[in-house]
Amino acid sequence: MGQIVIYRDTPIDRERWVDVIVDGKRYRVDPEHSVSQAVGTPICREGCIISMAEGFMNAGHTVLMGRPNSRPYPFHPSHLPKLVYKLFGFAWVRGEWPTLERQLGYIRPEYRLSVLEYTAQYYRDMRWFDQFQIRLQVP
């Protein structure tokens, strides 16, 4: 798999968007906004960038982090991830997030977050070599 570089521009507690470079293409990603939009309600932003990076790693990518105009360093997880954001990173880098987001639209809004959390729990130990398409899991 490839290498992903995440450029972080602000302190973690105020971080919203990060630049993610995958295969030479730059994307601007806000995991909290994407997940909150999918579930229809704002959720806590804490740990979203780091957890998303762990999802990238589960998808088989090498992840580097850095600040603009500095040399990126290898990412090493140092805390328990927020599983919903880890699932987001895993699905986003595999190109499956739009499908999950669309599937969530068929679920009643009050159940969307719990379905996404249950799905994240189900896929938490999956790795890139597990050949499957991510599907929502209903508790």
* Structural domain boundaries, residue 62: 3-123
Classify residue 130: in a domain, yes or no: no
Contacts of 131 (CB under 8 A, 6+ apart): none
Give the global pTM. 0.88
Classify residue 83: in a domain, yes or no: yes
In order along its 139 residues, the chain shows pLDDT tens digits of: 678 888 877 665 566 778 888 888 888 899 999 999 999 999 988 888 889 999 988 888 889 988 877 888 888 877 788 999 999 999 999 999 999 999 999 999 999 999 999 999 988 877 665 667 888 988 7
Locate all alpha helices (DSSP H) within the chain, ordered by sequence: 31-39, 48-58, 83-93, 97-104, 109-123
Classify residue 84: in a domain, yes or no: yes
Q: Total domain count for the chain?
A: 1
Classify residue 105: in a domain, yes or no: yes
Strand order in the sheet with 62-66: 25-29, 18-22, 3-7, 62-66, 73-74
What is residue 61's three-state secondary structure?
Answer: coil
